[in-house]
Structure 1
Amino acid sequence: MKARMISLRTAGLGLVVALQALSVTVALAPAAEAGAIERACRQSDRSAANPSLCRCIQKVANVKLTTAERKTVSKWFADPHQAQVTRQSDSSRDARLWERYKLFGDSAAKTCS
């Protein structure tokens, strides 16, 4: 009987730990699911940056930009000067990124306004 009580306690403790882990996972899910641009948008100090707008911008980015481009562009929220460095660069890769970024920006402005 004592062994059975110990195993029930162990099972109960395991269930409590599993439920706590599940609740933490559920609580963190929206942030974890957010893309790089949405996270950067939410963390920015811009007054217009609200969760709904940031989510919309991310959805447009998912269609208009590659994963690598989204990662690069997301960094521009914290350091806008890097966008200008890209815009003024002589690199053909940067020129392509800038063109795609402008198309993304136009699309986001129309879709998310």
Structure 2
Amino acid sequence: MKQTLLAATLVILAAPLVPAPASAGPLETACLRSDRAQATRSMCRCIDSVAQRTLTRAEQRRAASFFRDPQLAQDVRMSKSDRDNAFWARYRAFGDAAEQACTGR
């Protein structure tokens, strides 16, 4: 009984010391799954961190879909919809911020 109690206490005390697994956002996941040579783990993580600061979660998912189907990006860019145009402006701002943060340009 003492050993069980001691073991349980150690597990409880050690739990905060074990780092929680980082969850990749939609853009990091899409980036890592892409076949692009520049899609390193650190680059994809950087892009995702910029996305988390500049895009809503729904916008991040929408942008991630561009990795799977680049034609979707072209369709949004060429759209006459005010909603698509507003998203495209935010997406471009995200892209500029990601380029600056992740490549140092």
Which bin holds the TM-score, normalised by the shorter protein?
A: 0.7 to 0.9
Residue in 1 aligned with 2:13?
none
| Partner secondary structure for residue 102 of structure 1 | helix
Please give the alpha-carbon distance, in whole angstroms, between the structure 2 residues aligned to 1:102 and 1:86.
12
Per residue, is there more helix in 1 or in 2? 1
| Partner secondary structure for residue 83 of structure 1 | helix
Residue in 2 aligned with 1:4?
none
Runs (4+) of structure 1 exceeding 4 A deviation are none
Residue in 1 aligned with 2:73?
83
Match of residue 93, structure 2, among 94, 100, 103: 103
Please give the alpha-carbon distance, in whole angstroms, between the structure 2 residues aligned to 1:92 and 1:68.
17
Please give the alpha-carbon distance, in whole angstroms, between the structure 2 residues aligned to 1:111 and 1:57.
8
| Partner secondary structure for residue 34 of structure 1 | coil
Aligned-pair CA distance for 1:97: 0.5
Task: Identify unmatched segments of 5+ residues in structure 2.
Answer: 1-17
| Partner secondary structure for residue 96 of structure 2 | helix
Q: Within the alignment, does 1:71 sit opposite 2:71 as a pair? A: no
The TM-score with structure 2 as length reference comes to: 0.77
Q: Which amino acid aligns with 2:68?
A: A
Among all aligned residue pairs of Structure 1 and Structure 2, give the percentage whose two residues are the same amino acid.
46
The TM-score with structure 1 as length reference comes to: 0.72
Q: Which amino acid aligns with 1:104?
A: F
Count of residue pairs brought into register by the alignment: 84
How do 1:1-113 and structure 2 match up within 5 A?
29-30=21-22, 33-113=23-103
Task: Identify unmatched segments of 5+ residues in structure 1.
Answer: 1-25
Please give the alpha-carbon distance, in whole angstroms, between the structure 2 residues aligned to 1:66 and 1:93.
14
Aligned-pair CA distance for 1:35: 0.2
Q: Which amino acid aligns with 1:64?
A: T
